[in-house]
Amino acid sequence: MATTEQTAQPELKRVMGPGLLLLFIVGDVLGTGIYALTGQVAAQVGGIVWAPFALAFAVALVTAFSYLELVTKYPRAAGAALYTHKAFGVHFLTFIVAFAVMSSGITSASTAARAFSANAAQVFGLDLGEGIGITLIGLGFMGLVAMVNLRGVGESVKANVVLTCVELTGLLIVIGVGAWALGLGEGDLSRVTQVDTGDQSLVGGVIAATGLAFFAMVGFEDSVNMAEECKEPRRIFPKVLLTGLALTGVIYVLVSISAIALVPADELSVGDTPLLQVVQAGAPGFPLALFGVITMFAVANSALINMLMASRLVYGMSREGVLPPLLGRVGPRRRTPVTAILFTTALAFGLITFVGAVPDLGGTTALLLLVVFAVVNVAVLVLRRDRVDADHFRTPTFLPVVGALACAYLATPFAGRPTVQYQIAGVLLAIGVVLWVVTVAVNRRTGTTVRMDPEALSGEHPTGPRN
């Protein structure tokens, strides 16, 4: 019966070729991270701000090889939850991975809300300081995101192309301004070799900054959710994903070099609008309001997409019986997951109000995903025993080992990660575990079976950036 029903279901339309997939991946990685956290990374390492971004790129690249083996082996739209479930078959572990991905979306969206507030204050000349004014704008912005989410947003590949172009344009402006100013003899390129890690050693400072810079590199893992909508995914995914990561890595390094060459690290680390400072320093005549609007657009899109993803994941987990049924209710008019949207928005409100700081929220996003990436790297090795009747990409065995160790290490306190990030992640996951326990207890009383289908947990995964 189950097989007949699955066969009767229509397949997703395969519309994405190499070009559109490349734009999707580039747009997925570009986002709030580089726009908001460049200054905070500079605060930890000084002029070698480019080094943590380069190291974060290397760790992301190693993990991408693991994703490539898994997505070409299992070209289905479920990502880390599917790989975890296939490798270990433990419902609770699959739930934790899925809930961690959901939580990373909320912390990422909250980071974007804070960055949006800071840029709005800069663009409109509002003197809000760093306190309640920025928080209120962030809350208002997140409320607007919730309203759009409740109304229903139909994401399309064409929309993603437009958003990618806007985000990319902002970063190319920074690179162009840097090249122009340096060509005129302005700025100081020698700063890119200056090190200031405070009380930490060079290695310790760079590793600690990498844990934060990693937030700018995440997002590529979302592309595996588009496998069922790609033409010949087994053939095109490896080359396109690696090309997309390489392009974003080069862009990030060039942006960080331009930033530090035009603005000293101690000034770049002040406030939540570092790239606005760079444009202002390198091209005083450039319309800053325009660049500010581009930045606002980029981070707003990050927030909306991440809240869409988070609410759909909660809805999917409720539908599978691993979260309370209340969270799976759908609005009768708009057909959107109303209670899941309200639940995830409430969590975001709490983060914006009681945490607020961009580095803490961005760092927590990186922390959650580093743990997920470590699990995925291990899953690759475990699933080597599972043979499939199709040719697929196979990563060299040492890479998942290196990836698992690197991701696990960067997620530990030994990497200089602040305690507050563990507290934020712990609270979010504790909420999930409590909901899990309550649901299991209710299910036992009512005789409901926990299905925990990882493909259903992926929900209606939207396209767009994570970071």
Segment 362-389, tens digit of pLDDT: 889 899 999 999 999 999 999 998 888 8
Q: Is residue 462 part of a domain?
A: no
**How high is the pLDDT of residue 332?**
76
> What total number of domains does the chain contain?
1
- Gap between the Cα atoms of 58 and 42, Å rounded: 19
Encode pLDDT of 283-337 as tens digits: 988 888 888 888 888 887 778 777 877 887 788 778 777 788 888 888 777 677 8
For residue 71, pLDDT over 50 is answered with yes
When comparing pLDDT for 256 and 127, which is higher?
A: 256
Q: Is residue 445 part of a domain?
A: yes
Q: How confident is the model at residue 429 (pLDDT cuts 50, 70, 90)?
A: very high
- When pLDDT is averaged across residues 31-53 and rounded to a whole number, the result is 88
**How high is the pLDDT of residue 438?**
85
Q: Is residue 467 part of a domain?
A: no
Structure tokens at 44: 């930890």
Encode pLDDT of 73-85 as tens digits: 887 655 788 788 8
Range of the domain at 84: 14-457
Q: Is residue 115 part of a domain?
A: yes
**How high is the pLDDT of residue 460?**
45
For residue 59, pLDDT over 70 is answered with yes
Q: How confident is the model at residue 54 (pLDDT cuts 50, 70, 90)?
A: very high
pTM confidence score = 0.83
Q: Is residue 134 part of a domain?
A: yes
**How high is the pLDDT of residue 289?**
85
- Other C-beta atoms closer than 10 Å to the C-beta of 419 total 8
Contact 191, 260 (CB under 8 A): yes
Q: Is residue 288 part of a domain?
A: yes
Encode pLDDT of 210-244 as tens digits: 988 998 888 777 776 666 667 777 788 888 889 98
Q: Annotate the chain with three-state secondary structure.
A: CHHHHHHHCCCCCCCECHHHHHHHHHHHHCCHHHHHHHHHHHHHHECCCHHHHHHHHHHHHHHHHHHHHHHHHCCCCCCHHHHHHHHHCCHHHHHHHHHHHHHHHHHHHHHHHHHHHHHHHHHCCCCCCCCHHHHHHHHHHHHHHHHHHHHCCCCCHHHHHHHHHHHHHHHHHHHHHHHHHHHCCCCCHHHHHCECCCCCCHHHHHHHHHHHHHHHHCCHHHHHHHHHHECCHHHHHHHHHHHHHHHHHHHHHHHHHHHHHHCCHHHHCCCCCHHHHHHHHHCCCCCHHHHHHHHHHHHHHHHHHHHHHHHHHHHHHHHCCCCCHHHHCCCCCCCCCHHHHHHHHHHHHHHHHHCCCHHHHHHHHHHHHHHHHHHHHHHHHHHHHCCCCCCCCCCCCHHHHHHHHHHHHHCCHHHCCCHHHHHHHHHHHHHHHHHHHHHHHHHHHHCCCCCCCHHHHCCCCCCCCCC
- When pLDDT is averaged across residues 433-447 and rounded to a whole number, the result is 83
Q: How confident is the model at residue 8 (pLDDT cuts 50, 70, 90)?
A: very low
Q: Is residue 435 part of a domain?
A: yes
When comparing pLDDT for 310 and 248, which is higher?
A: 248
Reported as half-sphere exposure (CB side, CA atoms, 13 A), residue 323 has a value of 26
For residue 106, pLDDT over 70 is answered with yes
Reported as half-sphere exposure (CB side, CA atoms, 13 A), residue 412 has a value of 9
CATH number for the domain including 394?
A: 1.20.1740.10
Q: Is residue 4 part of a domain?
A: no
